[in-house]
């Protein structure tokens, strides 16, 4: 007999009994959300004392490096353990080969060093992919037909990863979806002595309609022709997500990510059950914008929407969530 079979039946069994008061609901709560479960994505702008609001991401701005340091301090004070960095590279520095990604003094590296110097206790996650650096907006190198080349791109991503690690990145997070990049990057990090630099693989990353505001934030939306379907996953697929995760784990990923978040909770649960490894979700820009639009339209309470969606990720099996609501949520959680 299954231990899950319930022996009592109504009225001996009343599932509403434990919900009758707040103290009891708290006592019976199965998952908890704390600021320690949050990673805060930040967009970096060139300059000094600069704040550039992003119209399609209301409430989110790009900050120059000094502002990024201030945001990292804010994260620390709220108990948020880690920030994720994305540069808005000046357009003059965007090229077909994305070589600015390899510049030790690029915006990303300057932000990493500044945070490490001022707030060393905050973890820094860095995105590895070429889209903030290429003139065509793709995550890798393209051939004459516009196809994103796998192996040639991986070589550049290795250089980008080493560049970020040398600047002080704690977690390298490849978001490019090239095959074989995790193992190649891991080998290079080991060889360079970065043995404790982690890799969080964007393992199951879908070609999604939810990335629009992010592309505005890093300035790639207008540059990108077409879509990313030859490298990012088809949103109809789940078995393939498990193969992607298995591959990245076999190559040495320390943790894996599913992205976008809410529409893919089934994938998160399957990955957690199948592999038992740390799983993270990215509640992406379009999801953030939907919540903000719903709240602005009076369709839902913003605070409640934020906490409900973030708790859902924990219930689905996530260790943590990348979310633009990180600071708002941490405040609500009373850190
Ligand atoms: C690019 C990258 C994207 C996001 C994170 N890294 C966009 C894309 O793949 O086009 C999206 C994040 C978001 O929408 O918030 N490598």
Tokens (6 digits) for 225: 């022709």
Whether the per-residue pLDDT at 27 is higher than 60: the answer is yes
> 32-334: which CATH topology?
TIM Barrel (3.20.20)
Catalytic residue among 73, 116, 205, 228: 205
Candidate from 130, 131, 140, 224 with most ligand 1 atoms within 8 A of CB, to mutate: 131
Give the chain's count of helices (H) and strands (E).
Answer: 11, 10
The confidence score (pLDDT) of residue 2 equals: 59
> pLDDT band for position 302 (50/70/90)?
very high
Q: Where are the domains of the chain?
A: 32-334
Rounded distance from Cα 164 to ligand 1 centre (Å): 18
Alpha-carbon distance of 75 to 88, in angstroms, equals 21
Give catalytic status of residue 205 as yes or no: yes
86's torsion region: left (phi>0), alpha (psi -120 to 50) or beta? beta
Element (H, E) at 124: strand 123-128
Within its chain, how far is the Cα of 80 from the centroid? 14
pTM over 0.75: yes
272 is catalytic: no
Pocket test for ligand 1, best of 44, 56, 139, 181 (most atoms within 8 A of CB): 139
pLDDT of residue 7: 78
106 lines ligand 1 (CB under 6 A): no
Q: Is the CB of 231 under 6 A from ligand 1?
A: no
33/41 Cα distance (integer angstroms): 18
pLDDT for residue 3 is more than 70: no
Ligand 1 atom 12: the closest Cα is on which residue?
A: 284
């Amino acid at each position: 007999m299954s231990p899950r079979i319930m022996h009592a039946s109504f009225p001996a069994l009343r599932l509403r009994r434990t919900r009758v008061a707040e103290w009891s609901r708290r006592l019976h709560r199965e998952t908890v959300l704390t600021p320690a479960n949050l990673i805060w994505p930040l967009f970096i702008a060139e300059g000094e004392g600069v704040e550039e609001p992003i119209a399609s991401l209301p409430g989110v701005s790009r900050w120059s490096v000094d502002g990024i340091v201030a945001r990292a301090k804010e994260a620390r004070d709220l108990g948020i353990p880690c920030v994720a960095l994305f540069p808005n590279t000046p357009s003059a520095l965007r090229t077909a080969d994305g070589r600015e990604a390899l510049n030790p003094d690029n915006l990303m590296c300057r932000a990493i060093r500044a945070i490490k110097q001022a707030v060393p206790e905050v973890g820094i996650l860095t995105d590895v992919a070429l889209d903030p650096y290429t003139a065509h907006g793709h995550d890798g190198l393209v051939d004459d037909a516009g196809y994103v080349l796998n192996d040639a791109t991986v070589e550049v991503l290795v250089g980008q990863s080493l560049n970020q690690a040398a600047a002080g990145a704690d977690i390298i997070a490849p978001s490019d979806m090239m095959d074989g990049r995790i193992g190649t990057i891991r080998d290079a990090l080991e060889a360079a002595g970065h043995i404790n630099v982690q890799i969080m693989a964007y393992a199951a990353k879908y070609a999604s309609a939810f990335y629009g505001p992010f592309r505005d934030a890093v300035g790639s939306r207008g540059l990108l022709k077409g879509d990313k379907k030859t490298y990012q996953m088809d949103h109809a697929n789940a078995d393939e997500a498990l193969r992607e995760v298995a591959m990245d784990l076999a190559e040495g990923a320390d943790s894996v990510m599913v992205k976008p978040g809410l529409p893919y909770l089934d994938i998160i649960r399957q990955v957690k059950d199948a592999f038992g490894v740390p799983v993270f979700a990215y509640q992406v820009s379009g999801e953030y914008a939907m919540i903000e639009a719903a709240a602005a339209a009076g369709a839902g309470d913003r605070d409640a929407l934020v906490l409900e969606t973030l708790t859902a990720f924990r219930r689905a099996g996530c260790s943590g969530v990348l979310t633009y609501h990180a600071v708002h949520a941490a405040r609500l959680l009373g850190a």
